[in-house]
Structure formats: structure tokens, C-alpha cells
Structure 1
């Protein structure tokens, strides 16, 4: 039986200034998932808003409900000024991963293998439950649901798309990767803008290249931006893209 904190937070929000992230903790099936939520300024619980799910990278895992916004907090706050939405930023535990991926390092070269198992990690299961909880809250315009993330969060973005294939209008995975065998489940339902640095020494740029090709072949409305000479921190370039949020919020189901 899951314990819900969502509506407790909504009650508290009546006396809290909006346009700032607030800490929440979601529990489902014995799993605790800390997350932060950002409400639009002037939030009105009689209205419905777009929902944006933001997934952090491996370096921001933990249980402090802080580190998941190490990268992207200012980016998300600035976006709110032009595109009011509810933003949720969950935090993955130290000992797990958003996506089910095998990571192998040989001779200082890291490889990521996707699709060997369809079993969701515990944080992914909790994330899906969290998203569904918000979708059933009555506060979300279900035609405007979006997801994006960086590195491990980029991989989580691709996986969330095939696990919830009819949910997201658009997505922006940054320096991630995914299972090319699953793209047909969401390719025609979700627009995707992929970002990667061509000198990434942590997550090979080929991860995004093959996903881009697979999505193109599957008939997806997909864009791909590769940054010359940029290493793993390509999220800095992606966050500086002036057209990212206009592109994202232009899509509706």
C-alpha cells in the first residue's frame, strides 16, 4: 500500500511562495524516492499544468534530496518564467540506476549494454508510480507531459519512454543511450531531441548516434545535436539552447 505525500504538499503550498523547489518524499511498495517539486508562480489548484520530469546523472545519486539539482536547477527555474509547468526532480539511490543497463569498463573504455533484461530497477518502478500519481492528481494536463535528463538520466529518459509509451509528448535525453529494440513502442507518439558531445569520455557518443538512427528509421519526429569537442558535460550546451523549451512545450498529445 503506498503512502502518498503529494496532497499533503499541496495543502502546505497554500502558505509557501511558489517558483521555488520544495522537498518531498514519495513511498511505494517499500521504496522511498526523494524528489523536489517546482510549482508555477501563481499556482492555482483548480487549473491543470504541463508536467516535466527531470532525471539527474549518476554523480547526483543519494538520499539527501539535494544533489539531483546540481545540474539544471537554474535552467528549470528560468524556463518557468516563460513556460509555467509543474516540474518534478526525483533522486535515485546511491546503489542503483534509473535504467537497466550493463556497464563494463575494460582498458579505460566504458561500454553500456541495453536490452539484456526488461526488468525495471526499483528506482524506475518507483519513478513510474510517481509519474502516475501526478497524472491522476487532476493537476496535470495529460496532453503536455515531458521528460528529460542527463547521462544516467538520459538513459532513464529513453527507458521511461518505452515503459510509458503513451505518456510523453516530447523528451530531451542528454549524453545518454538506450535500447534501440524498444524505439518502435514510442517513436510515433513522442518527439525526441537528443544531445551529446562528440568527445565524451564517459558515455560514448555512439550511444546517442545509434538511438538517433533507430528513431529515424522508426518514423519518429527526432532531432539530434552533437557538440564538437565537448566532453561529458554536454548538458551545459543543451541547457544553453534557446530553442529547447519552446520546442519542448510546442508538443502536445
Structure 2
């Protein structure tokens, strides 16, 4: 931790550079981060809210949008972090610094964008749903836990991809079915009454409790269940500690292989 604090200026510069590169030459800039979930929201609302009527939720587009924004942050952060060490290979070979700052900067940029977009979605959702409630006080710690969870996974996939170049394409392939199995356009109870299947969808999918927590707070105006909050906290700690341990164990050879 002390080493990371000493290099905080480098980390800040990496975040700034990543932001500039991400939106350089783009007319809409950060608005593109909103366009993607908006398009998906329209498509899935048509499919599951009109054609197949899978789920019956009031203000279903907002139900969809909250889940899509959380998923977009999760998936884009991991996809961006996976090749980040290889992309910064020249810097790694030239200078000694905490290598964690590279995938960390990618996740932080995605988090900044995600926070802006979620803020816009929250304003609309709270206004339409009337869910301005004390439960909102739980949103910041849930988002911090989400950041830590994604950061831990990003550290793992970035260092693994540096050694095994199949990790990024495998991750890209896995995220597609993972998306459809996540409670983005449904709740587990919408599609099955079997306790085993509902348990698997809710607890064996590590991103599901994060989606449900944010949706409970913004869409329902309710405090997530104690089990969900505990899961979110534990998943965040396990992910960030596990990711850092793996990263530290494998980073010694980075200057040679990138």
C-alpha cells in the first residue's frame, strides 16, 4: 500500500491518459457509454417486455437500464484491463513502478464513466419511480465494493493474459453467456420457481448480487437483504485480495514477457 501511495502521481497520470485516449476524437465523448445500454435497453425491452413478456415489472425500461449500466461497467472494465499490461509493455520494460497501477487505471477510468452514467440513470429512476429513500445511503458503499470486486478480477485477468494470450478472447467469449445468465432483464423468480435454479442464478453468479443491490436501492427504493450485502462485501474483499496476491506472484517476469 505504501508503494502505491508513493506512485499515486503516476497513477493519476495514467488515469488522465486513459481518459484522453478513450474519448479522443469522439464528438459525444462519455455519452457513448450511455448510448450502448440505451440501445440494449430498447432491444431487450422489445424482446422480453413486449414480444415474450418474460418479466412483469413496472417501468420495465428503467429496471433494464439499471442492470445494463452495472453490467457495462463490469464487462468493459475487464475487457479493457485484460490486454493493458501488454499495451504498456514499453513502459514496464523501462521504469520500475507498481504494475498494478496499469489495470487499476483502466478500471478507474471505467468507474468514473460508470458513476457519471449511473448518476443520470439514478435521477431519472428516482424521479419516475419515486424511490428517493434512506436506502440511497447504501449506494456509495455498494459502489465501492463493486469497484474493489472488479479491480481484483482485473488484476487477475491482466496478469494472466500477459502470460497466456488466450485469456482475453476466452473472457470475451465467456461474457456473452454470462450476460444472459445475469439478472439484468429478469429476476430469478421471473423464470423459475425451483429453489436450486434460483439459488444458482442468485449466488453462484458473482456479479448478480451487485446488480440486485444497485437495483434494489435505485429501482425499488429498498435496502438489499442482509445476505446480499454480506455477499457483496465478502466478494469485494476476496476478489481484491486474491487478485493482488496472484498479480504479485506473477509480476516478476512481466518485463521479460510483455
Tell me the TM-score normalised to structure 2 length. Answer: 0.28
Q: Which has the larger radius of gyration?
A: 2
Larger strand fraction of residues: 1
Which structure has more RCO (C-alpha within 8 Å, separation ≥ 6)? Answer: 2
Larger helix fraction of residues: 2
Tell me the TM-score normalised to structure 1 length. Answer: 0.28
